[in-house]
């Protein structure tokens, strides 16, 4: 891999209907949607925003951005 390749900070966008708005507990794990895996926060955020806006009529629907790069390398310093 070339040294000039941009650093990949993997992000996962997932979502589904929650049991209630006080907790991040999905009603049915079989219905959780994996929107996609993205190489950086900006593209993950764009995908998250599109899915969240498309489900605005359902107050129980929530989408989340999971910072996979933090799970893969917990010693990595967060970007500032």
Domains of the chain, each with CATH number or no CATH? 1-21+31-72 (3.30.70.2400)
**Tens digits of residue pLDDT in 1-31:** 556 666 789 999 999 999 998 999 999 999 9
**Tens digits of residue pLDDT in 47-72:** 999 999 999 999 999 999 999 988 88
At 78, the pLDDT band (50, 70, 90 cuts) reads low
**Tens digits of residue pLDDT in 67-76:** 998 888 777 6
74 dihedral zone (left: phi>0; alpha: psi -120 to 50; beta):
alpha
Q: Measured between alpha carbons, how far is residue 38 from residues 10, 30, 35, 66, 68 in Å?
A: 6, 22, 10, 10, 10
DSSP H helical segments within 1-80, as ranges? 41-54, 68-72
pTM above 0.85, yes or no: no
């Amino acid at each position: 891999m070339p040294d000039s390749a941009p650093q990949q900070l993997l992000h996962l966008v997932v979502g589904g209907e929650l049991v209630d708005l006080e907790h991040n507990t999905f009603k049915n794990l079989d219905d959780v949607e994996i929107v996609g895996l993205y190489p950086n926060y900006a593209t993950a955020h764009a995908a998250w925003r599109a899915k969240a806006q498309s489900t605005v009529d359902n107050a129980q629907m929530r989408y989340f951005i999971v910072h996979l790069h933090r799970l893969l390398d917990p010693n990595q310093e967060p970007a500032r």
